[in-house]
Structures are given as C-alpha cells and as structure tokens.
Chains A and B, each alone.
Chain A
C-alpha cells in the first residue's frame, strides 16, 4: 500500500485521468443488478421479519416471520454462493479489494468538502467503479459483517444439531446476540447506503445505474478504442 504522506500527489495521479473521456458504459451486467435488487429485497424482508420475531412489531405472526426469515435467508445464501462464484470467475471481485490510494481524499470530501460544495474527488473508471471508501466499506461488509450475520444465522437455525454441547443454551444466547447486534449494523448500513445516494447529482441519478446498468465513467483512449471495436454493446453513449 502506498502511504499518502510519502507521495502526496499519488492520489491525483491514480484516481483522476485528465485525458479520459466521459462515456456511458454498461457497468452493471444483468446478473449483478438482479443480485443487488434481490439482496435489497431480501434484506428488507429479513429486517422486517427479524424485528417482528424480536417483538418490535406484531404485524406478522411469529410462525410466518420464522418461515419467511428462514426461507429468504436460505435463498439469499444461495444467491451469495452464485454471486461469489460469479465475482471470482469474472474477476469482478477486484473492484471490492480495498485500496489506500485516494481514500483520504474521499473521506475528506464526505467529512468536509461536501459542505463546501466541492466536487466528488473520485472519477469512476471502467475497472474501478467504486471509490476507495466504497471498496473498503463493501469489502468489510462482505468479509466481516455478512459472514457474521449468516454464520450466526446458520448456527441459530441449526441449534438442534449442537444443543447437546455443554452450555448450549448459553452459546445459543451468544449466537442470538451476535446475530441481533450485527443485524442492527446492517440496518444502519442500509440507511447510510441510501443516504449517500443523495450526495451527488440527485437521488435518481444515483439509483439509475443499478436499474439500467449503465453509468458515465472515465474511459482512457485505449479503453474507448477497445470497447468501440470489440464490445460495442457496452458503449451506450
């Protein structure tokens, strides 16, 4: 990792591209959009049913809440299996790799620049559609938060297979508490995720790429040339 204090200008060098052109490119293939929205719907259902089971509302009988929570969670896990396979076979996983370059600039923007009316310092590129802060957030989500949720969830669900272990009721309580705590964190993430869409041109502008799949990104002349010759279908405008 490059340390910004030793190479103060590297952010600018790497993250912006003066001779790039802004082109609208298909950046979220159909599977990724399906994945995103299924996941979004699933998380909503899981949060609604989870809150119900924990007594925060009684809009749904416990039995139905358990049934939905279990089935939706299992379906989401299956989707994650497919998504993980897809991420690694297509190489898309690389966009989620955390990187230090530009991180402080993006963080500074959200903490300070946005109030000054500054422009977002990150320029999306074909291979790096996530800014460094997003990449860090998503990588933490995928490697720490989600595994904690589905790991504790699976342990919770399969209690009957390990209930004969010593102190099983205590460990069940630990599992349940972890599940509940991390679920609240995911709920907070959802709020944050939606809120950040309001920083930018408009909320609709933020949501549109995940619906249509296309987004305006910076293309290097080489990328532009390659796409216009070999992958014309990706170049929308």
Chain B
C-alpha cells in the first residue's frame, strides 16, 4: 500500500516517510474492518450460558423485535401454502408425498426441520410463543449448531438426548452437544450449510428427495455447480433466493416457469423471483453468432435448466429414484429387521437398497431428467382426491402445454413410488411410520394396518380400514446444480432421432425426423431421378450410344 517514491524531493520524502510510519502503526492497532456493523460476540444479551434454543431466540428478539413476526409469516414457519391458481391448500402441513408420506402422525421426526421449536401436532398451528422461532438454524455461522432428528426442532443441549449414544442430527450425523452461546455470538447471513442442513436432507437422507440438492453443494467443484463453487462465484442460496421480510423467493408449488420480466430495470433489483433470468435476462446468449441467436430463440420455449443442468445428482451423492413401501417389513432368519446395502454412491458411501422399515429403494447419479412442458402450476393429489389405482397415480401434476403461451420445457426428477392407499375409498393414505413409544408406528411394529389407521386418524381423514399399494410418480423441478456453459447440452442431444425431448408433445424438433413425409417424398423423387440417370446410362451402354454427339 505505502511505497517509497524516489522522485520526491528528499525533504518531502522524509515528511512522507514519517507520515507513512505513523499511519502504518495506526493501521496495525486499528480493528479489522468487517462487513457487518455489529459484532454479536460483543452483545451483552448473548454473553450468557443458554440452556435451550428458545432462550437464545428470546435474546435475539430483545434487539430484533420484529424478526419472529416476520418468520411466522413465511412458509418456513407455517408449512402452509394456499395456491391461488388451484385453490388447493398445500404445504408440508397438508400434502402427501412419495417419500415418508406425510407429517401428520410423525411430527417430532418431521418437524425436526421446522424453523422452530416444539411443533408436535399438525392439527394445531406452530407454537405461538415468539421464542419458539429457531433463529440459529439459519443464522449460526459457528458450524456446530444443529437440531436433533426427532425432537420437533430442538437442538442437542449438553446432557440431553445423547445419553443413549444413538441420537442423530437432522443430517444423519451422530449428535453432539451444541454450544448455544458460541452459536448465538456467531450469527450472520445464512450459508449453504445453514439452508442445506434441512434442504439437502429432505426425504430422510442426503439428496433423497430433490435430486439437485445434496451435501455436494456444501463445497461443490465448478463442474457440479458453476455458481456455488468454493473457488469460483461461491454463491450462497440467498444470492438467488433473495428474501424480503424473511420470505424467500422461489416455490415448488407455484413456480416461475417463465420470467419475461428478465433482469428488471436498472437500479431496481427484483427480490421476488429466484429465476435465472433475474440475473441473466431472457436473451443471455451472444447475439453476434448464429449459435447465440438460435439459443436465444430457444429461451422462450426451453427453460434455461433444460440445457444447463444436463444431469442431476452430480458430485458423488446419489438421489433416491424409486421407493417401494409395499415390500417393507421383511425380517431376516433371526427375526431381525432385514436391511441391505447394495448401492455405493460416487463418494464411496454405501446406501441401503432395502430396509424393513421402508421397503426397497433404487438410486441414481448423474441422472438424465424427465422433461415436460411446465407453466409453473403444480396440482397435488391431496388426501381427499379420488385416485385410479389401476394406473400410476401422479402425486403432483405438472401443468403446461406447448400452446398455453406461458409454458417452457423443464427438467424434472420423476420419483417412482409405491405407497399405501385406501383400497375402498381410493384415497392416498397417511401412515404413522415414526413413533418409538406408540403402538401403531410402522417403524416400530411393522404393521401396516395399525400404521395407516393411526396416520389417517391423526390427519382427520376417512379410512375404510382396507389398504393397498399403488404406483406413484412425483415430479421435482430441477433447477440447482447448474453446470458450466461448456458442459451444457449440445444441440444434437435433442435435435436427433429419439433425442432427449422425443417424448415431449406439441413441438416439432428439427433434425429428429429424417423420414418424415417430406423427407420420404423427397427421397423418392431423388431415387427416381437417380434411377432415371442409371437407366439412361445402361441404355447408352447397351446401344453403344454412349459417345453420342451433343453439347450437354
């Protein structure tokens, strides 16, 4: 920073050196400048030994007086989403999925990832106390705060929960005692690890649910995620999922499948969407090249993700692609619950392919997505919907078509499931799977009859008493793990016979039908012309008129 400048006159130089020395000394004594204007370790409210998470929250709220109210107005808290387009009441509190099924009747296990403490009954709203909001799960930067996997959102505090040695955290790691004071004093902006501690582990394990959200994104290489790479842009989740009053942009229930507004007006950054276009605009390719112009022509019909996320579940962590609950409950020859680990994922970790508690699993890595038109609307098969068990039931239906003017072709993870339903009423069934101390939980007693009855009762749903298993599909829009540009799909991945989009209807794919009507007609005409020439040659040779005079 400070360098001797030889062209200055000696006197001036001496004065300058004096100044430099004092400035340097001053600089060494001065505190390092930080991004934040607050150092939470200096706050008296946080300089105490906390006995529980809610105590920390109370301390936070002593300054951030409105924070709990903001959080309580977010889906992170309510687990409830009223879809304005379909009028469906969705959210984790209500929907069924093809993974662990439903929250109802399994609360303390599922609400371990609630952004609060102590929500133990889905029939009741989350705890009313402001101190029940969990600030630390998002804002801890010490890296050692975590929640237990079965304590309705509570953390492991020294002495509690770890006594048996079997306690686990929400990421499946062996639980440890959390230093709440250290965590409280460390608070800052959420990192990938904060969001990931829940979102990477949805469905009961690493990358089980989404396929494009796994622990590989904690420290991804550039080829796994071009935006989040540690040695690259190093985005946090919030770089795209911007927040306003603790409400985050982005939704799986009402997706911005298109974003014609693009990057918005200069100086007016949009905080309401987490789309690619929000930064890149809707014509991001080079306008000066044929390829760029053609690719920009695609952007209104093909989602960015379709080409730029060529495969999901990259980076060594597999995603569950099939879950068959119907085979659950098998015991080995000794009468113990059977479990098999026949799949080893890219990072070397073996994964269960059968569990007596959960049935059969299949996994995939570097999975080629399922593609479909998508206008952003997702309709769920809620528990009151009548299903047709003779067909594959779609747990959620992706709306969209080529001619509705607002759809694009999107990539999805298509989860295959086989799960319980009410065989008389033809409704999807809730089931009580977790509950070590209950007499109904499937994971404790391996009895579907009891488990479903308890689940339906907890959810307040009618149940005929007879159950069966039905094949299901569930669709998960793929939007993370964006690959570097050089790894994006090539044209010929789609523009070929039986290319990636061969099953997508309502489009004409240039290059995919060499033997279309026009192609066949053209070829026939061509063959006729060539045959004529060959016939002519033959006749000339036969009649020895090949040297017939003429001009051309």
Interface residues of A (CB under 8 A from B): 53-56, 58, 61-63, 66-67, 70-71, 109-110, 113-120, 122, 124, 131, 134, 156, 159-160, 163-164, 169-170, 172-173, 176-185, 187-189, 191-192, 195-197, 199-201, 206
Contact = CB atoms under 8 A, between A and B. Distances in A.
Select the residue from B289, B511, B522 with max chain A CB neighbours within 10 A.
B522
Given A62-B490, A114-B550, A55 B511 contact: yes
B490 A182 contact: no
B526 A120 contact: no
Contact of B519 (A58, A118, A181): A181
Interface residues of B, number: 51
Given A55-B514, A56-B514, A62-B492, A185 B297 contact: no
Contact of B551 (A122, A163, A187): A122
Interface in B392-411: 402-403, 405
Given A53-B511, A191-B529, A124 B492 contact: no
A61 B491 contact: yes
Contacts of A184: 519, 521-523, 525-526
A163 B302 CA distance: 14
23 contacts: A55-B496, A55-B511, A55-B514, A62-B492, A62-B496, A63-B491, A66-B290, A66-B291, A70-B290, A114-B548, A119-B548, A120-B550, A120-B551, A124-B551, A163-B301, A176-B516, A179-B518, A181-B522, A181-B525, A184-B526, A187-B526, A189-B529, A195-B537
A206 B551 CA distance: 7
A71 B290 CA distance: 8
Contacts of A197: 552
B497 A188 contact: no
B506 A169 contact: yes
A54 B511 contact: yes
Interface of B: 289-291, 294, 297, 300-301, 402-403, 405, 490-492, 495-497, 506-508, 510-512, 514, 516-519, 521-523, 525-526, 528-530, 532-533, 536-537, 539-540, 542-545, 547-552
B549 to A, nearest CB: 4
A177 B522 CA distance: 9
A53 B518 CA distance: 15
A115 B543 contact: yes
Contact of B297 (A159, A187, A196, A206): A159
Nearest to A206: B552
Nearest to A111: B536
B490 A63 contact: yes
A156 B509 CA distance: 12
Select the residue from B294, B497, B519 with max chain A CB neighbours within 10 A.
B519
Contacts of A66: 290-291, 294, 491
A114 B540 contact: yes
